[in-house]
Amino acid sequence: MKKIFFIFFILVSFIYFGNYYVINYYIQPGDTLYMLSKKFSLSPSTILDWNDIEPYNLKIGQVLKIPQPEGILYEVKQGDTLYDISLRFFTTIEVIKSANNLSNNYIYVGQKLFVPTSRIGLAFNVYDKDFIWPVFGRLTSTYGWREHPIYHKMSFHTGVDLAAPEGTPIFSATEGVVELAGQYGGYGLAVIVDYGKYEIVYGHMSKVCVYKGQTLSKGELIGRVGSTGVSTGPHLHFEVRINGNHTNPVAFLPSYNRMYVLKSDNIYVGGE
Ligand SMILES: [Zn+2]
């Protein structure tokens, strides 16, 4: 009788980092992003954020990094404090410290901090408006006529600009279906979300982590702040269109004087 030799392929390996670990998964024939997101119980956005892959063109044998639990990495920039970073994730310092086994508030440039998705807050105020703020940033340009920052001519600004450091996460302000994910003229890397009678436009991103056709829930990660397209520095251009006509997005966003709540336990955190 013939001896049967089994060859074991290593399909996954694990790397542990404190309170989370990263699975290295080798893409198998037939895998799709959607199937993998179901298999590992995370959003396709998280897989796209952690990996440089084409959503509709997965390469067999390519390694995918899959964080467990689901979460987002943030690389510390010059001048960042733990408090700043906690705001950008609409969460608290304590959440970040415990997720990264930090015993004090010391962080260093280039350090990669992990923020579990379950602890990322949804909005400044989920109660008073339909939308949530997609980015914690500074409102640097409002909707309406202005002198264009690059062309120095009067022009109509069709959205609001929220300045934030490159790499700041952008969360979907509404639910909806992704209509465009990629280059979009002067908007640079952009995402357009179809939300009933609304179209929500996110521009100048450094990374897009959704794909065309993806169904989004409110607060889901859609990409990172950047300065692509016609832009003078890292910011999110946030635009709302109704039946193709732009309108003032601030009307749909929670008021400035209310802060955010944590998604998991609805703690009011307070702020400006
Ligand atoms: Zn703008």
Asked whether this chain's domains 12-68 and 71-119 adopt the same fold, the reply is yes
Q: Give pLDDT tens digits for 69-106.
A: 999 999 999 989 998 899 899 888 999 999 999 999 99
- Taking the centre of ligand 1 as the mean of its atom positions, its distance from the CA of residue 158, in whole angstroms, is 7
Which of the four pLDDT bands, split at 50, 70 and 90, describes residue 141?
confident
- Taking the centre of ligand 1 as the mean of its atom positions, its distance from the CA of residue 140, in whole angstroms, is 9
For residue 74, the SS3 value is strand
Q: Domain residue spans in the chain? A: 12-68, 71-119, 138-252
Strands (DSSP E) found in 83-142: 112-116, 138-141
Tell which CATH architecture fits domain 138-252: Distorted Sandwich (2.70)
Q: At 106, which amino acid appears?
A: Y
- Taking the centre of ligand 1 as the mean of its atom positions, its distance from the CA of residue 148, in whole angstroms, is 10
- Taking the centre of ligand 1 as the mean of its atom positions, its distance from the CA of residue 239, in whole angstroms, is 8
Strands (DSSP E) found in the chain: 12-17, 20-26, 63-68, 71-75, 112-116, 138-141, 144-147, 154-157, 160-163, 169-171, 176-183, 189-195, 198-208, 215-216, 221-225, 235-242, 245-247
Q: Give pLDDT tens digits for 192-229.
A: 999 999 999 999 999 999 999 999 999 999 999 999 99
Which of the four pLDDT bands, split at 50, 70 and 90, describes residue 264?
very low
Mean pLDDT of the chain: 86
In the block, which residue shows the tokens 């996110």? 202
- Taking the centre of ligand 1 as the mean of its atom positions, its distance from the CA of residue 7, in whole angstroms, is 56
When the candidates are 3.10.350.10, 3.40.50.800, 1.20.1070.10, 3.40.50.720, the CATH number that belongs to 71-119 is 3.10.350.10
- Taking the centre of ligand 1 as the mean of its atom positions, its distance from the CA of residue 161, in whole angstroms, is 5
- Taking the centre of ligand 1 as the mean of its atom positions, its distance from the CA of residue 8, in whole angstroms, is 53
Tell which CATH architecture fits domain 12-68: Roll (3.10)
pLDDT of residue 261: 38
